[in-house]
Amino acid sequence: MAEYDRLRDHMVDVQLAGRGIRDKRVLEAMRTVPRERFVREGLEEFAYEDSALPIEEEQTISQPYIVAAMIEAAEVEPDDRVLEVGAGSGYAAAVLGRIARRVFAIERHPALASLARERIAALGYANVEIRAGDGTRGLEQEAPFDAILVAAGAPEVPNALKRQLAMGGRLVIPVGDTGKQKLCKVTRTGETRFDVENLATVMFVPLIGEEGWQENR
């Protein structure tokens, strides 16, 4: 346990702060959430490596740096309601839950959603709710959201997610082909007005669903 705490501190200092993550809330949250509880059984010793790792259903838990960079870009604040699309292991949702008031996370693989739900319940993170379903449609009944983070690569920004942003809300999403994408930040500035910024080039698994790629890709 103490060994994981040491590795986690090292990850935050070297991989995150050392590479320019400045948001204190993000650094603090990632110093707290035990990533070793979100990786596949047997891979715990690699939990604090500077990389994505395989999880069940042939998906991945994202590299710690990209989790931090996306949350920092989304400017998540303590009073925020947040939606994450692509909950995967539940790790990023857990980190978001240490920063924001309420977090909803959607995962298309029911088996991943239930594992993520179990991990989050075991840690007692009561403000984080994991749902199974197609996140390209957002979560209409819980909208609007101050921040939406999408952890899979989309062909275009789904309209449903733009519509579910609060005024001033931020959507951070990889957009491009299935090989590599541009990480985009979309800020809602009016009823039908959105500012778009390109932040970086990234590589994510595909976002599959109604406003994403088709299932057989």
164 binds ligand SAM (CB under 6 A): no
First CA to last CA across the chain, in angstroms?
Answer: 40
154 binds ligand SAM (CB under 6 A): no
Q: How many residues bind ligand SAM (CB under 6 A)?
A: 27
152 binds ligand SAM (CB under 6 A): yes
Task: Identify which of residues 23 and 107 has a Cβ nearer to ligand SAM in the complex.
Answer: 107
Which residue's beta carbon is nearest to the bound ligand SAM?
Answer: 86
Instruction: State the minimum distance, in angstroms, from the CB of residue 190 to ligand SAM.
Output: 27
Distances (CA, A) of 67 to 42, 64, 142, 191: 22, 5, 23, 29
Q: Categorise residue 156: left if φ over 0, alpha if ψ from -120 to 50, beta otherwise.
A: beta
Task: Find the binder of ligand SAM among 64, 135, 138, 176 (CB under 6 A).
Answer: 135
Q: Is 160 helix (H, G, I), strand (E, B) or coil?
A: helix
Q: Looking at 5-13, 23-31, 53-61, 193-201, which segment touches ligand SAM (CB under 6 A)? A: 53-61
CA–CA gap between residue 68 and residue 109 (Å, rounded): 24
Q: What angle do CA 32, 37, 41 make, to 5 degrees?
A: 160
Q: Which residues bind ligand SAM (CB under 6 A)?
A: 59-62, 85-89, 91-92, 106-109, 112, 134-136, 151-152, 204-205, 207-209, 212
